[in-house]
Amino acid sequence: MSKPSFVYVTYIRSTPEKVWEALTTQEFTRKYWFGASLRSEWKVGSDWKIEFDDGRIADTGKIVEFDPPKRLVIGNWQNQFRPEVKAEGFSTCTIELEVTGEAVKLTITHVAQGPKFIEAVSGGWPKIMSNLKSLLETGHVAMEMKV
């Protein structure tokens, strides 16, 4: 039986290097991730987390693959602030960048243990990646929201 998964694909008029920087730079992530920061040493085996402005930890994980500016895999991803989602265990998120003409094809594949985590990311990834796309293409996020 296959595990629940969510796949999101978007095309961003940018370079792989700029998209990669946006995905892995704490100051940049705060701009499009609704004020949350992605924190890691960004190397295989290092811890990874999403931290809210107030210091609460949203999610944690480990860097499994790190191949700039092409592929990032975060394993042992676990939600930390919604008990019903945390109870489902760990997930794995793969982010891949591919040049397509004058754009970058960004593909996110998130595989989880249960449906509640997939429900959460299927609502979150489109908003976050829409903000990233808008920010890189126009200098402004698509929507403002604090979590």
- The residue among 2 and 101 whose pLDDT is bigger is 101
Backbone dihedral angles phi then psi of residue 142, each to the nearest 5 degrees: -75, -35
DSSP 82-111: -HHHHTT--EEEEEEEEEETTEEEEEEEEE
Residue pLDDT, tens place only, 90-143: 999 999 999 999 999 999 999 999 999 999 999 999 999 999 999 999 999 998
Structure tokens at 6: 């969510």
pLDDT score at 1 = 60
Residue 50 has pLDDT above 90, yes or no: yes
What's the angle, vertex CA 90, arms to CA 88 and CA 96, rounded to 5? 130
Cβ-contact 123, 34 below 8 angstroms: no
In this prediction, residue 75 has a pLDDT band, given cuts at 50, 70 and 90, of: very high
**pLDDT given for residue 138 in this prediction:** 97
All structural domains of the chain, each given as residue ranges with its CATH number in brackets, are 5-138 (3.30.530.20)
Q: How far apart are CA 22 and CA 135, in angstroms?
A: 9
